[in-house]
Each structure stands twice: as C-alpha cells, then as structure tokens.
C-alpha cells in the first residue's frame, strides 16, 4: 500500500512540472528603425513598468513571458516610445520605433565683422526630404529634423561666397553656427610674436597704398583683389616691418600677420621731494630688480618690447612707489618721486628717581605728538633724515628737550627723557615768610629784654 502511494505522488509531481513547462513561453522581441528598418541596439524594455533589460547589438531581447497578457514599453533616446499589450502566448514580436522630430537652429555670421547675416537662403536636404529657410535678423533659420539623420546644408547670401556643410543630427535639439566669407572683403589680423596678443594701430599697405590701421582687436578689414599677386606691408613702432607677397584666392578671407618686437630701452628718473636726484634706488620689474639709479637718479630699463609695465621703485629710508609705465619708443622717460619713510621711535619719560611719569605731553618740533601711558611710554613715528626737537612737559616738572635725527636706513633704540621736579615757590614763599616772622619776633624779644635790663639798673642806682 505504501509503495502505491509513493508512485502516485511521483506521477502527480511529474504532471505538475510538465504543465508548468508547457505554460512557460519565451517571447523574442526585435526592435527596428522605422526609416531604414535597421535594428536598434540598447533599447530599454519595460514589463509592467519594471525595467527588464536592453536589446542586444542585434536589436533583440528574449523575454520569458509566463502567463497572461504582457504590458510592454520600449524606449530609446532619439525615438518615440512604443507601448502595447501583448498576449502571453506570443513567441515573436517586431517593434518599429519612429525617430523623434527635433529642432535644428542654424546661425550665420560674417567672417570679417562677426555680425549676423540676414536674408541668406539655406537648403537642408536628407535622403527623404528637402527644406528651405531664410535667416532672420539674428542670422538664424530653424528646421524640423529627424534624430540620427545626416543632412546636407547649402548656404547662399548676396555678396558672400556659397558654403556647404554636412550635419549629423543626434538625439537632441541642435544649434550650429557658420561663418560666411565676404565676396569682396578681406581681413588682416596682426599679433605679437611673443605674447600672441592683438597689435592695435599697425598700418597696412597693399602695393604701397595705405589701407588703414588695425583696431583694438588687431584687425583691419579692407577690399582686396583676388587671384592677383599683391605686396602687403605691415608696420608698427617697436616692431620689425613685415613685407609679404601673396595671391588671395576666392576661398580665402583672413590673413594673420605676426610682428616681431624690436627691443627698446626706457629710462626712469628718481627724485626726492626737494627735486634732488636719488642714487642707488632699485627698479623692479615683475618682482625682479632690473636696474639701479646712478648719482644722477637715472636708471635704464633695457631690452623691453612696446607695452605696459608695472614697476616698483624703492630705496632704504624711502616709501616704495608702484607705477604703470607705457613703453612705446626708445626715448620713453618716466620721473618718479620718492618720499622719506618713517621709523618707529619709542620714548620713555621718568623722573630723577627713575619712576615712570604718566600723562606727560610730548611735542615734536612744537607739535603735540601724544602723551605717555601708565608706563611712561609713547610710541611715535619719525621721518628719516629730519631733525627733531623733542620736548616733554608735565605739571610739577621742569620741561626737558632733546634733539633727534634718524639717518637713512638706520633703526631706532628707545629714548629715555628724565624730568626734574619743579620747585614749589608757594611753599618756599611761606617758609620765607615764616623765617622773617621768627627773625622779627627774635629782634623784638631782644629789644624788649634790653629795655627791661636798663630800667632795672636805674632803679638799683637810685
């Protein structure tokens, strides 16, 4: 009996397993492009809202569908989404994705002036369509395009050379810019060889005829005969003159000319506030000392190229001066005036018993510089090389004056000024009066004593 039960259970399990296997269905999904029917790899497959995987390089995905209908969603960048309900018994599904419609903005500019080119005609062509647009006041024309598509763009405008380009549209809206070459204008761009900076004010002549000078961008736009040999001369003070022969073709619009600077010298003259030359002053350029002034206060800045420089002029005992100079020719001269610097001077005021005197008034050449603190100290500033009469006053003390002069470049040491106590004349007067009174009393007493002795003698004689 037990053996029959085991056989029955085994048979039942086999039947259940067979039925389950029979109901499981594999769904092969193939994703294709609507335009060229090519397969779309890496498309995302969603089942009932859940991401279940990506199509392989062949654009296919194998889904074990199980039982019931399948709610599928297929997405891919640059394509419209596909969604639908598929029967659970379906074993093969072909999904066609439509390429998304995007916006292509084309902007046109003049290659010389960089201004927008309006009124240009643009032809945009793909394998399946041709569109025409006209650039607006901002030089822009817009087109509706399809993602992942190659387009040919042809541009024409009055007084400009035609231009053709190929555009590959990806999965997003695109903005492209193009520069049109003027049919009768030509641009010269002049740069410095060392810095590559624009050289403004350079004169340009063609066949010995002056065309003009470059602007702040180093650019000169002028009419040039094309397909004809010409001689171009570019000149600028402080640079070597460039002469070149060329033939401008119809497809050329810009010529870049590089000028080599000619080293020149600049001269710095350093004076003090009394207009006397200062020798031995350091001239620093970009943080490095490059020259020193002579006994005439002159320093030479050698091998400079035209341009603006920041210099620092300094000497011990003077306040440094920073100054911008413009080197333009070999005779550039720059005067600099240095003011004497100040140095800190500490003063200590005490009495003859070496006790600190607080609140004492300090005068420098008659002007009040301050009062001493509780420690009898005052810190002040003295100008180098200037004589000072330092006077200290305080109630109850005799004024005291000292002379001080700090030579250029020297440091100071604390200066101690000792005040003597002032005589109290009121007390002296009182004491004097007291002494006089005592003397007067003493004289009176003596006189009275003598008189008494004289009368006593007379009585005795009687």
Give the residue, 428 or 373, on which the prediction is more confident. Answer: 373
pLDDT in tens, 93-143: 999 999 999 999 999 998 777 889 999 999 999 988 899 999 999 999 999
| Per-residue confidence band for 229, with pLDDT thresholds at 50, 70 and 90 | very high
Q: Are strands 342-351 and 415-419 parallel, antiparallel or unpaired?
A: parallel
Is residue 160 within 8 A of residue 179, CB to CB? The reply is no
Q: Is the pLDDT of residue 5 over 90?
A: no
Q: Is the pLDDT of residue 20 over 60?
A: no
Q: Tell me, which fold does domain 101-180 have in CATH?
A: Immunoglobulin-like (2.60.40)
Q: Which of 8-17, 45-54, 88-97 has the lowest mean pLDDT?
A: 8-17
| Per-residue confidence band for 460, with pLDDT thresholds at 50, 70 and 90 | low
Interatomic CA distance for residues 279 and 298, integer angstroms: 8
| Per-residue confidence band for 219, with pLDDT thresholds at 50, 70 and 90 | very high
Which CATH superfamily is 23-97 part of? Carboxypeptidase-like, regulatory domain (2.60.40.1120)
User: What's the pLDDT score for residue 23?
Assistant: 52
User: What's the pLDDT score for residue 25?
Assistant: 75
Instruction: Please state, rounded to an integer, the average pLDDT across all residues of the chain.
Output: 86
Average confidence (pLDDT) over 330-353: 89
Q: Is the pLDDT of residue 156 over 70?
A: yes
Domain ranges of the chain: 23-97, 101-180, 185-259, 264-340, 342-419
Which tokens go with 258? 């590089």
For the 185-259 domain, the top CATH level (class) is: mainly beta
Q: Which of 270-274, 325-329, 424-428 has the lowest mean pLDDT?
A: 424-428
pLDDT in tens, 30-44: 999 988 889 999 999
Q: Which of 71-80, 212-221, 300-309 has the lowest mean pLDDT?
A: 300-309
Q: Is the pLDDT of residue 434 over 90?
A: no
User: What's the pLDDT score for residue 94?
Assistant: 93
Which CATH superfamily is 264-340 part of? Carboxypeptidase-like, regulatory domain (2.60.40.1120)
Percent of the chain past pLDDT 70, that is, above it, reads 89
Q: Is the pLDDT of residue 87 over 50?
A: yes
Interatomic CA distance for residues 221 and 309, integer angstroms: 30
Q: Which of 271-280, 284-293, 300-309 has the lowest mean pLDDT?
A: 300-309
| Per-residue confidence band for 1, with pLDDT thresholds at 50, 70 and 90 | very low
Q: Is the pLDDT of residue 462 over 70?
A: no
Q: Which of 13-22, 287-296, 339-348, 435-444 has the lowest mean pLDDT?
A: 13-22
pLDDT in tens, 267-279: 999 999 899 999 9
| Per-residue confidence band for 17, with pLDDT thresholds at 50, 70 and 90 | very low
Q: Is the pLDDT of residue 347 over 60?
A: yes
Give buried/exposed letters for 123-138 (b at 16+ CB in 10 A, else e): ebebeeeebebebeee
Interatomic CA distance for residues 221 and 112, integer angstroms: 7
* Inter-CA distances, 240 with 78, 256, 264, 303, 307, Å: 57, 15, 12, 14, 15
User: What's the pLDDT score for residue 19?
Assistant: 43
Interatomic CA distance for residues 101 and 115, integer angstroms: 30
Is residue 66 within 8 A of residue 7, CB to CB? The reply is no
Going by C-alpha positions, the residue among 121, 106, 233 that lies closest to residue 176 is 106
Dihedral sign for Cα atoms in the order 340, 346, 351, 356: positive
User: What's the pLDDT score for residue 305?
Assistant: 74
User: What's the pLDDT score for residue 21?
Assistant: 44
Q: What is the CATH number of domain 342-419?
A: 2.60.40.1120
pTM of the model: 0.43
């Amino acid at each position: 009996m037990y053996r029959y039960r085991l056989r029955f259970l085994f048979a039942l399990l086999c039947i259940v397993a067979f039925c389950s296997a029979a109901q499981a269905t594999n769904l092969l999904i193939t994703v294709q492009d609507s335009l060229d029917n090519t397969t779309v790899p890496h498309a995302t497959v969603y089942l009932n809202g859940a991401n279940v995987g990506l199509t392989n390089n062949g654009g296919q995905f194998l889904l074990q569908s199980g039982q019931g209908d399948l709610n599928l969603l297929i997405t891919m960048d640059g394509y419209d989404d596909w969604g639908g309900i598929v029967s659970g018994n379906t074993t093969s599904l072909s999904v066609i994705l439509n390429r998304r419609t995007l916006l292509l903005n084309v902007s046109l500019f003049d290659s010389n002036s960089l201004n927008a080119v309006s009124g240009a005609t643009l032809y945009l062509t793909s394998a399946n369509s041709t569109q025409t647009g006209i650039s607006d006041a901002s030089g822009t024309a817009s087109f509706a395009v399809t993602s992942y598509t190659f387009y040919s763009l042809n541009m024409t405008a009055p007084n400009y050379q035609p231009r053709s380009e190929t555009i590959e549209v990806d999965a997003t809206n695109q903005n492209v810019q193009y520069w049109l070459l003027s049919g009768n204008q030509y641009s010269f761009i002049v740069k410095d060889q060392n810095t590559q900076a624009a050289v403004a004010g350079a004169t340009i002549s063609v066949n010995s005829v002056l065309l003009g000078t470059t602007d702040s961008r180093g650019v000169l736009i002028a009419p040039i005969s094309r397909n004809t040999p010409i001689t171009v001369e570019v000149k600028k003070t402080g640079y070597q003159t460039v002469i070149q022969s060329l033939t401008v073709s119809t497809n050329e619009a810009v010529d870049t000319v590089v000028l080599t600077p000619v080293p020149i010298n600049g001269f710095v003259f350093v004076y003090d506030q009394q207009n006397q030359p200062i020798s031995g002053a350091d001239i620093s350029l970009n943080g490095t000392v490059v020259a020193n002034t002579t006994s005439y206060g002159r320093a030479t800045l050698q091998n400079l190229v035209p341009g603006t420089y920041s210099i620092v002029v300094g000497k011990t005992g003077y306040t440094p001066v920073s100054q911008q100079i413009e080197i333009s020719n070999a005779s550039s001269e720059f005067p600099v005036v240095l003011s004497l610097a100040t140095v800190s001077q500490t003063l200590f005021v005490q009495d003859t018993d070496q006790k600190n005197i607080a609140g004492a008034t300090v005068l420098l050449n008659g002007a009040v510089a301050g009062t001493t603190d509780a420690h009898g100290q005052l810190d002040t500033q003295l100008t180098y090389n200037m004589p000072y009469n330092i006077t200290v006053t305080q109630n109850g003390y005799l004024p005291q004056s000292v002379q001080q002069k700090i030579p250029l470049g020297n440091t100071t040491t604390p200066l101690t000024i000792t005040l003597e106590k002032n005589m109290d004349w009121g007390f002296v007067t009182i004491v004097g009066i007291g002494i006089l009174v005592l003397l007067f009393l003493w004289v009176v007493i003596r006189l009275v004593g003598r008189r008494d002795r004289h009368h006593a003698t007379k009585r005795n004689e009687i």
